[in-house]
Amino acid sequence: MEKNKDVIQLERESVIPILKPKLIMNLANLIEHTSDRAEFLKLCKRVEYTIRAWYLLQFEDLMQLYSLFDPVHGAQKLEQQNLSPEEIDVLEQNFLKYLFQVMEKSNFKIATDEEIEVAHSGQYLLNLPISVDESKLDKKLLKRYFAEHSHENLPDFADKYVIFRRGIGIDQTTDYFFMEKVDMLISRSWAWLLRKIRLDRLFLRKSSIRRKKEPKKDEEIYAVDKEGDDLFVERIRIENMEIRLRNMLSKITIQEPTFDRIIVVYRRSSAQTKQERGIYVKHFKHIPMADMEIVLPEKKNPSLTPMDWVKFLASAVVGLATLGGSLEMPQADLWVIFAILSGVIGYCAKIYFGFQQNMAQYQNLITQSMYDKQLDSGKGTLLHLCDDVIQQEVKEVIISFFILMEQGKATLQDLDLRCEELIKEEFGESINFDVDDAVQKLEKMGIVARDSIGRYYCVGLKRANEIIGTTTEELVLKARQGVVNS
């Protein structure tokens, strides 16, 4: 369908997308002896119980702090505490510190200006310029946090809101897209006309700049390529469609890479009579990169852009001037006059009706983002994050121990590579494995150590279970079974 391929290059994610039960069972099935398999399953449970216990107090502090800044009930709880503004400032900064730590442990990354520019370099379902009403957003909370906690590559809007993203996916939409195809034809015809009358530099300057910022293209790459260190995802867009009768009259499929999870953190601006203390934490899923604007906080109602108005008025002026010149000729060609009028009227109608259609599409996307794309907000999002941290760290620890158990001693670099190879071979997923954190936890548990030359090795399965010992959860389960049996 496409005229030329449009491929964007992304970094591999550290998140392990395999479900924990599937991961554990597949690894257990790779163990030859039945007795070792049972010990391994017991070890996996004890590892999870231990990691949960480590994070319990930190997660409780996080939830307690958020209860004071919940936009719904937080104000009432703050009033009951009788805290000074300075004390509240300290508490909200502590909350943000815990939140950002949990985000990092969950493998969420702050979206940078470069990543957002790549996302906005294409169009998908949303074809309207969406912007944030900055007057409705607080500019002190996040600015104070980043002043005390430095982060690299912060976006320009980081003082007002922060967008965290994790995971890469693919979204495809199949439809006739009649209006979009007509819009593409008119745009190409308009560009051709401007080139003929040598006004293309004036009107197409913006699009030419955007093409320079387009990501890398490679004719050898299809859809998704995970063979190298980076991830390559193809965009299939109507703008690049080859003009054929079959393409124009039949259904086509467009494709856009997605951010699998997005979390937006912000605070609304304070009213003159009362200071706003609520902190909004909103969680979205499967957001197309080119449509990232639907997750922005406090969006302005879209309208025709200044460039659209310039095109609208310039088209009318150029058309009328050309028409006047044609009428002054001794023998005016009616067909030429008709063609000029049709072109001007058609282009102006294209701008207007295109805007109306995009407005309807925008309303549908906003509604969909509220009901289908938004996973949760506030406390529910924090509970998701806390569980994500535990699940990811358990999987990292189990994979690292399994590799040392099955393949013997390894340096940190070798262990990292072997873990990535195992995930690729057994589950078909390419990730950037976070081995450092996993090894630190294994050493903390006492079941992994280093030899005299710095290589890591693990103790036997039975010994590992003895070192961790019987957990509280196991004692509760035994007590519950005893009550049931009695």
pLDDT reported for residue 216: 43
Q: Are 163 and 151 in contact (CB under 8 A)?
A: no
Which pLDDT score is estimated for 235? 86
The confidence score (pLDDT) of residue 416 equals 96
> Residue 218: CB partners within 8 Å, gap ≥ 6?
5, 7, 232
Confidence at residue 352, expressed as pLDDT on a 0 to 100 scale: 64
- pLDDT value of residue 344: 66
Q: What is the pLDDT of residue 435?
A: 94
Residues lower than pLDDT 50 in the chain: 205-227
The separation between the first and the last C-alpha atoms of the chain, rounded to the nearest angstrom, is 69
Residue (of 274, 268, 295) closest to 141 by Cα position: 268
Closest among 211, 205, 226, 180 to 423, alpha carbons compared: 226
Question: Which residues is 168 bridged to in the sheet?
Answer: 259
In one-letter notation, the amino acid at residue 317 is V
So what's the pLDDT on residue 365? 61
Q: What pLDDT, on the 0 to 100 scale, is given for residue 316?
A: 62
